[in-house]
């Protein structure tokens, strides 16, 4: 079973996914009335600093206790089960909103983060990034991904906590403040 | 050199100019001796990629906890009939009925079991149900072009649909996309997430298309082309294609319990 196969190439999501991939309730990992509901929002920008109006984002995260859900029901939500997955198409001004909870640390002392995948017309393959919570500065300082980055790049992965408790996370595909995008060990063979 | 056009809606260049740029990139790739298997994300002949690709190297990360798992989808999420795109309207959609089937495997050859596959496509006339699609070709009231299924225990998927038509776009003057079906795939960990496009064998538009040619390696490009399979065709009913999809390797060895939801 250790046969190594060459991965199939990716391609852009293109402009016409809107009728197919986004779905009702995709952006709500929990209901807004959930006692620990948190708004996660931001804007996707291109290399000129202009909003990208045809991007789709997915998040995948642990629950507030740091547990990974393996429950189905992300596409047809029952309003009670935390599945950990969300999908949203940005609006006409490149802005997105998710309603979720702050992920808990998966292990004591680990910096909690939300995994994100970015798709867009014009983006020939998906991009991966992480959205770290800003609070546990000690854990952030010890994080292996963050600590390998220079300060100006590191900050692109850490969400800002707004006065009302919302998390703000902008995505800059290119240029000033370009978001750090990740590759994982098993991607390396592919380019 | 003139400032490059950064919109794929500008139709500013000729096909000859775009083709010359693509040939030059292919020539440089052939000389490099490096083997690439994924598309370039920086591929200027696809105009809207110019301002939308990161210019800094991807940062190497070892996947941790959440990244070692993928969301689980089940019968709750997907109805079995969603794999047949020809029965979603009040009548038969127009066009060439076809099936496409294959397997979703990870980079180690393991089947990706009970996982979500989503597809979307233009109708037989090359028109999407999307307000952004202004191509003056007919909408088919009996065809949405959207389907979903869950893979079987052997990673298998199958869709019944109508063969999509090629359609024009404005990347350059007289630009046409080869006929394709978009596929969205999940693996057993989140790092395997991918979206791609499946093409049809022998399409005369391949050499002209900057999205397909952004995969600069000819063998890698061919991995997106389905195979006509006569055994998959059905007597007096439909034509059959097969296409297997290989995701990148899983970072966590999936167990029997995975996706048994």
- Collect all residues of chain B within an 8 Å Cβ-Cβ radius of residue A48: 6, 51
Report the number of distinct structural domains present in chain B: 1
- CB contacts < 8 Å between A and B, how many? 274
Which residue of chain B has the CA closest to A2?
Answer: B108
ipTM for the assembly: 0.96
Best to test chain B binding among A6, A10, A111 (most B CBs inside 10 Å): A10
| DSSP-assigned letter for residue B161 | E
> Is residue B4 pLDDT above 80, yes or no?
no
pTM: 0.96
> Tens digits of per-residue pLDDT, B14-70?
999 999 999 999 999 999 999 999 999 999 999 999 999 999 999 999 999 999 999
What's the pLDDT at B132?
74
CATH code assigned at B20: 2.60.130.10
* Within-domain flag for B83: yes
What's the pLDDT at B253?
77
Q: Which CATH architecture has domain A17-172?
A: Sandwich (2.60)
d(CA B74, CA A71): 9
CA distance B6 to chain A (A): 10
Question: Is the sign of the CA dihedral B147, B221, B250, B42 positive or negative?
Answer: negative
* Within-domain flag for B214: yes
CA distances from A26 to A82, A88, A100, A123, B150 (A): 12, 6, 11, 22, 18
- Provide the pLDDT confidence category of residue B75 given band limits of 50, 70 and 90: very high
Q: Do A8 and B246 touch (CB under 8 A)?
A: yes
Which residue of chain A has the CA closest to B260?
Answer: A70
> Tens digits of per-residue pLDDT, B222-252?
999 999 999 999 999 999 999 999 999 998 8
- Boundaries of domain holding B173: 15-51+70-246
CA distance B197 to chain A (A): 6
Which residue of chain B has the CA closest to A8?
Answer: B246
Residues 112-151 in B contacting A (C-alpha not used; CB under 8 Å): 116, 118-120, 122, 128-130, 132-133, 144-146
* Within-domain flag for B21: yes
List, in sequence order, every residue forming a beta bridge with B118; answer none if it has no partner.
B148, B184
Ramachandran angles phi, psi of B171, nearest 5°: -60, -40
* Within-domain flag for B254: no
d(CA B226, CA B187): 20
Residues 191-250 in B contacting A (C-alpha not used; CB under 8 Å): 191-197, 211-212, 214-215, 220-221, 223-224, 245-250
What's the pLDDT at B135?
85
Q: Do B132 and A15 touch (CB under 8 A)?
A: yes
Print pLDDT tens along chain A (191 aa).
456 899 999 999 999 999 999 999 999 999 999 999 999 999 999 999 999 999 999 999 999 999 999 999 999 999 999 999 999 999 999 999 999 999 999 888 999 999 999 999 999 999 999 999 999 999 999 999 999 999 999 999 999 999 999 999 999 999 999 999 999 999 975 43
**CB of A85 within 8 A of CB of A18?**
no
Residue bearing tokens 């014009």 = A122
> Tens digits of per-residue pLDDT, B202-227?
999 999 999 999 999 999 999 999 99
Q: Where are the domains of chain A?
A: 17-172
Of B71, B76, B109, the CB nearest to A5: B109
- Provide the pLDDT confidence category of residue B3 given band limits of 50, 70 and 90: low
Which residue of chain A has the CA closest to B150?
Answer: A72
> Tens digits of per-residue pLDDT, B168-190?
999 999 999 999 999 999 999 99
* Within-domain flag for B57: no
> Tens digits of per-residue pLDDT, B107-160?
999 999 999 999 999 999 999 987 777 788 999 999 999 999 999 999 999 999
Q: Do A60 and B71 touch (CB under 8 A)?
A: yes
What's the pLDDT at B257?
56
Catalytic positions of B are 128, 167, 177, 180, 182
Contact B67/A at CB under 8 A:
yes
Percent helix / strand / coil, chain A, rounded to 5: 15, 25, 60
């Amino acid at each position: 079973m250790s046969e190594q196969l060459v991965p199939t190439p990716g391609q852009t999501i293109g402009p016409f996914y809107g009728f197919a991939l986004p779905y009702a309730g995709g952006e709500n990992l929990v209901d807004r009335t959930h006692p620990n509901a948190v708004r996660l929002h931001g804007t996707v920008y291109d290399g000129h600093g202009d909003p990208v109006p045809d991007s789709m984002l997915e998040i995948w995260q642990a629950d507030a206790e740091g547990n990974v859900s393996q429950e189905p029901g992300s596409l047809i939500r029952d309003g009670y089960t935390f599945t950990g997955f969300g999908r949203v198409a940005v609006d006409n001004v490149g802005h997105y909103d998710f309603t979720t909870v702050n992920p808990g640390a998966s292990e004591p002392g680990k910096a909690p983060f939300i995994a994100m995948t970015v798709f867009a017309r014009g983006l020939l393959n998906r991009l991966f990034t992480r959205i770290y919570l800003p609070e546990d500065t000690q854990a952030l300082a010890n994080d292996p991904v963050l600590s390998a980055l220079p300060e100006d790049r590191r900050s692109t992965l850490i969400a800002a906590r707004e006065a009302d408790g919302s998390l703000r996370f902008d995505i800059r595909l290119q240029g000033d403040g370009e978001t750090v995008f990740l590759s994982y060990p098993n991607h390396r063979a592919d380019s | 050199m003139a400032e490059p056009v950064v919109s794929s809606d500008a139709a500013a260049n000729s096909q000859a100019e775009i083709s010359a740029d693509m040939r030059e990139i292919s020539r440089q790739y052939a000389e490099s001796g490096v083997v690439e298997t994924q598309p370039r994300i920086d591929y200027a002949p696809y105009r809207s990629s110019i301002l939308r690709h990161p210019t800094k190297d991807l940062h190497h990360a070892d996947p941790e906890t959440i990244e070692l798992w993928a969301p689980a989808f089940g019968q709750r999420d997907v109805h079995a009939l969603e794999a047949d795109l020809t029965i979603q309207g009040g009548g038969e959609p127009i066009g060439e009925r076809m099936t496409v089937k294959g397997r979703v495997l990870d980079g180690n050859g393991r089947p990706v079991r009970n996982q979500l596959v989503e597809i979307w496509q233009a109708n037989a006339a090359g028109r999407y149900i999307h307000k952004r699609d202004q191509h003056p070709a007919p909408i088919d009231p009996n065809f949405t072009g959207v389907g979903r299924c869950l893979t079987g225990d052997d990673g298998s998927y199958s869709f019944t649909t109508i063969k999509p038509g090629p359609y024009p776009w404005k990347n350059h003057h007289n630009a046409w996309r080869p006929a394709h079906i978009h596929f969205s795939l999940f693996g057993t960990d989140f790092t395997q997430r991918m979206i791609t496009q499946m093409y049809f064998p022998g399409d005369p538009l391949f050499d002209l298309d900057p999205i397909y040619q952004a995969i600069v390696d000819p063998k890698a490009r061919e991995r997106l082309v389905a195979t006509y399979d006569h055994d998959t065709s059905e007597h007096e009913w439909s034509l059959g294609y097969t296409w297997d999809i290989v995701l990148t390797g899983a970072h966590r060895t999936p167990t029997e319990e995975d996706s048994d939801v």
